[in-house]
Amino acid sequence: MEFNNFVLTVNSSSVIILMVLALILLTATRFRGEHAYAAAIIVFPNVPVYLYNTSVMLAWHKLSLFLFPITNVNLLLMPLLWLFAKKSFDDSFKLKPIHILHLLPMLICIGLGLSMTPEERLASIQYEMTGDTTFINDVNSIFVFLQMVIYFTVIFRFLHRTKKAIGDTLSDAEWIQKSWIPTFEYLFAALFVIVMVCFFIWPVTGTWLIQILNVVAMFYLVYNLIAHPAMPIKEIPVNIADDDILETVNTETPSTQIIDEEQMKEICERASRYMEETKAYLRPDISLALFAKEINISQRKLSQ
């Protein structure tokens, strides 16, 4: 198979696979909660780029010229990953006008593309076909590298602090439903590093390697979103810029963290009596937070 045919096959197949994955996610989860961000991660930063690569390989010049500036939507990927992590662990999180700043790199690159005449775009596309990079490609790559460093630092810091803050709040069963998300972010970070290293060594890998690794990551994402239902955790006041949670967890005295045998017996009796009287174990929405609230016992003591 010639290299051009290989690139065409990879990109066209990736478009089909990603659209199917998004459809599966839509059907299975109806885009509830963080699933909407997951679907956006699958489609918006990837499909336009792969369609552009496909149109170039097939010499569909009109479509290529139209998609040329739009390919910079790949700069949406990191903001969407951050929003996905944030929404997954902080159900009260809402988008604000200031969050538009996350779109600034993408808007700059799209603006550069739109400022070019059709002749300049065509010349740039032809130059890309030689395996070299153009000015817009270089600007895009710089933004991608900066995003990778900044966003993954923020994401991993947020996930680390979140795990500490909620470790004594969620039950083990509840935490399992969320524990795959940090793994997904670490996986994506590893794939991102591989892609960036390969791109700087041989820029042409941007037309096929990214697509293959991306499809692998998206399969993992969709599988876990379906296997682990969305679980809102409004009871946990997680805020990436707020240290109050960790201070609360770390400054509690040993006497409040450890309960004696008599207290344990009393808690067990109260919990058992509540379960027998209300049949709460049959409720599909029961959680550690809700259970603790119903029997008027702190989640920390109940967890112990």
CATH topology of domain 3-227: Rhopdopsin 7-helix transmembrane proteins (1.20.1070)
pLDDT digits (tens, 9 = 90+) for 53-103: 889 888 888 999 999 999 999 999 999 999 888 888 877 778 889 999 999
Q: How far apart are CA 204 and CA 211, in angstroms?
A: 12
pLDDT tier at 112 (50, 70, 90 boundaries)?
A: very high
Task: State which of 61-65, 132-136, 230-234 shows the largest mean pLDDT.
Answer: 61-65
The pLDDT of 275-286, averaged and rounded, is 71
Q: What are phi and psi of 46, to 5 degrees?
A: -115, -50
Question: Exposed, middle or buried: residue 82 (CB in 10 Å: 0-12, 13-18, 19+)?
Answer: buried
Per-domain boundaries in the chain = 3-227, 252-303
pLDDT tens digits for range 24-50: 887 776 666 566 677 788 888 989 999
Under 8 Å CB-to-CB from 268, ≥6 apart: which residues?
Answer: none
CA distance 300 to 258: 9
Contact 91, 166 (CB under 8 A): no
- What is the distance of C-alpha 7 from the center of its chain? 26
Please report the DSSP string for 252-280 in residue order.
S-HHHH---HHHHHHHHHHHHHHHHHH-G
The confidence score (pLDDT) of residue 304 equals 64
d(CA 203, CA 200): 6
- Segment 176-201 shows an average pLDDT of 85
| 8 A C-beta contact, residue 230 and residue 35 | yes
